[in-house]
Amino acid sequence: MESMEIDGGKTPSKGVNAGEEEKEKTKPIVLLLMGVPGSGKSTFCDEVMRISSRLWARVCQDTINNGKAGTKIQCLSLAASALKDGKSVFIDRCNIDREQRADFLKLGGPQTEKHAVVLDLPAKLCISRSVKRTGHEGNLQGGRAAAVVNQMLSKKELPKLSEGFNRITFCHDERAVKEAVNVYGSLGPLDSLPSGCFGQKNSDTKIQQGIMKFLKKADPPGNTGSEPTQKFIPNEIPVKKGSVFQRTKMGQRPSDESVEKFEKRNEVDITSTSGAISADSIPTLAFPSISTADFQFNLEKASDIIVEKVEEFISRIGNARLVLVDLSHGSKILSLVKAKAAQKNIDSNKFFTFVGDITQLHSQGGLHCNVIANAANWRLKPGGGGVNAAIFSAAGSALEVATKERASSLRPGKCVIVPLPSSSPLFLREGVTHVIHVLGPNMNPLRPDCLKDDYIQGCRILREAYASLFEGFISIVKSHGVVSKLNCGKSDEGIPTNDDQKTKREAVYESDKNKKCKGSQQDLEQKSKDKKVSKAWSSWAQALYDVALHPDKHKNVVLEMSDDVLVMNDAYPKARQHLLVLARVDGLDSIADVSREHISLLKTMHAVGLKWVDKFLSEDKSLLFRLGYHSVPSMRQLHLHVISQDFNSIHLKNKKHWNSFNTPFFLDSVDVIKEVKEAGTVTLKDDKFLAMELRCHRCRSAHPNIPRLKSHISSCQAPFPAALLQNGRLVSSEGTS
């Protein structure tokens, strides 16, 4: 489509009409970029517009006046005009404080969504970029830029949903920025994003310091950031070169007039910072204070026990998190626990307090919790008041039914772990997969089994209750790695990422710590050449190995077995039919280990897979299948995936799940056999494919999230890409394609 530039953004030429009907369905977005100079606001706009199918207009105050700096009024006028034309709008200004943002949040009608992307990158990175750049649109570079950045960094005010935003995304590093670019770049004209705050650091995190921090020029004692700070413009600034920080001359000190001119244009008047809890999708247990509400347990004693047990268990949860939740902003238990945890120097990334409704932490507070704890009654029944009634109500009848299957009653100090059915509203809306019912001691004479102020007994029971709760959470996170659980299908999410994070195991939960990956791409390539390279697999990754070499211990999961191979169901299938064909050869940990001597084994595995495909197709001719290997599995023992292409499964939950089966990362069995026969080894695909945007495996259309993608593929009837229809990669009732 022919396009032209408007203030750095692309917009259709006047002869193009997108259609009034589609225009009415589209929900335009006003996206405010917030960040100091050098944080990458303009680059963000350019990258999104380069890949997006949505119509965007960039409103940049530095160039709005015929290529020169303009006014806020001009920005508002141009933004309003772009919205009227059906475009979404980037507000490319610093937008440092609430007052700057207020007028832009009034743009558009009720259908216009208001988003913010906060580029809160490290101070030294922004300063270095600003100093070194040339030809900046607003002529903000060199020493003058460093001065402005320094002042802004010490004063900024982070946005809040209460200002009128539907969605706020906080980016604290370049990886997060890339993810945000992909999110907005993949939005189609009719797509929308979930509301809430995403990626924000703990509210206790101190505001970044600017240039003065790096020169060890501390603020005067008592300076809180709310009062004007002394302007200090040094003659040189540390700039990173390689791994060494060097001093780079910045020229003469800029005049206060030049600094103030830029501040005036961007309306810099920041007085404070604020924050909330990060919404990172890592294993998280949200729990209320047990026994301190309806059960009237002493708050001081309860807070001591909470901190004591958190301190005891915090080292065992890896990168998972514990979050104490209360509905009230004036909660005394939260205040007590927060203060005592700080005194104990407990890691605030692993344990913190949060104000919010425990049944709406994700949708209302942006905090994603896989597991929530319920302060239950001994009957494990709905009703009563407080947390118990709220959780049963929010989870629907599915929780009550699932709880009955687990237990009919509960003793004080004990817990019951209940996997939440996927039909539960709490699962669908909040992403909660387990509820842990826990019962503490009762000090309320109006309730059963009152201890009558026997705090010796009461404290013992409360300690048992928290220990039981935290043990239960740990078991949920780790149980998928226990051999006896046979969670052999949990390899998809456990593949290394580009930023060298440890492997995340594919399960209901994701846990970075204690997850061992197969190493870097270079390591993998070396391993395929040198079979003497050894790899230490963590205990959870040994499940398939144990099944393949000791099948007599796992007869209940083995579907078929011979001297060479074994067949079993994937424990967490990603489609209606999903099998694993395991090689029963010691030393074949993954596809990287195979060579020409294993061609016969690969053919046998493929043939066994096809036999099971024929069985499935005799039962349902509408199915289509692919057979293949992951380039970098997280589970030890070579295994072939036999998977139907409907991808209709509650276990398909995130981008890695999808991309591990629908990008070049998935190596078709027929191609593997051919390559090993010709080259003697397999070319492994880079894990960058796991971070690709979500695209339909049929029509290749892009989608912003898994729910949207699932909705699309359930009805998509487009033909498969030509490459899949060749060389037997796709198997149907009519034979291989």
Question: Residue 209: helix, strand or coil by DSSP?
Answer: coil
CA angle, residues 302, 307, 313, in degrees to nearest 5: 125
**Backbone torsions φ then ψ of 150, nearest 5 degrees:** -60, -45
Question: How far apart (Å, rounded) are the C-alpha atoms in residues 37 and 176?
Answer: 18
Question: How far apart (Å, rounded) are the C-alpha atoms in residues 510 and 500?
Answer: 16
Beta strands in 420-509, from DSSP E residues, in sequence order:
434-438
Beta bridge partners of 323: 286, 352
Question: How far apart (Å, rounded) are the C-alpha atoms in residues 313 and 173?
Answer: 29
Is residue 598 annotated as a catalytic residue, yes or no?
no
Q: Which of 461, 381, 386, 373 is nearest to 417 (CA)?
A: 373
Structure tokens given for 695: 């695209």
- Virtual torsion, Cα 553, 556, 558, 563, nearest 10 deg: 40
Question: How far apart (Å, rounded) are the C-alpha atoms in residues 703 and 226?
Answer: 43
Go through the chain and tell me how many residues it has.
737
Catalytic residue among 480, 578, 639, 657: 639
How many other C-beta atoms are found inside a 10 Å radius of the C-beta of residue 458?
A: 24
Question: How far apart (Å, rounded) are the C-alpha atoms in residues 606 and 268?
Answer: 65
Question: Residue 659: helix, strand or coil by DSSP?
Answer: helix
Question: How far apart (Å, rounded) are the C-alpha atoms in residues 458 and 111?
Answer: 54
Can you spell out the DSSP letters for 246-273? EEEE--SPPPHHHHHHHHHHHT------
Q: Which of 130, 133, 83 is nearest to 110 (CA)?
A: 83
Do 318 and 331 meet the contact criterion of CB atoms below 8 Å apart?
Answer: no
Structure tokens given for 466: 């928290």
Question: How far apart (Å, rounded) are the C-alpha atoms in residues 497 and 520?
Answer: 9
* Residue appearing with tokens 């405010």: 32
Can you spell out the DSSP letters for 597-654? GGHHHHHHHHHHHHHHHHHHHHH-TT--EEEEEESS-SSSS-EEEEEETT---TT--S
**Residue type at 294 in one-letter notation:** D
3-state secondary structure 506-571: CCCCCCCCCCCCCCCHHHHHHHHHCCCCCCCCCHHHHHHHHHHHCHHHHCCCEEEECCCEEEEECC
Structure tokens given for 10: 């692309």
The CA radius of gyration of the chain, in Å to the nearest whole number, is 29
**Residue type at 290 in one-letter notation:** I
Active site residues: 639
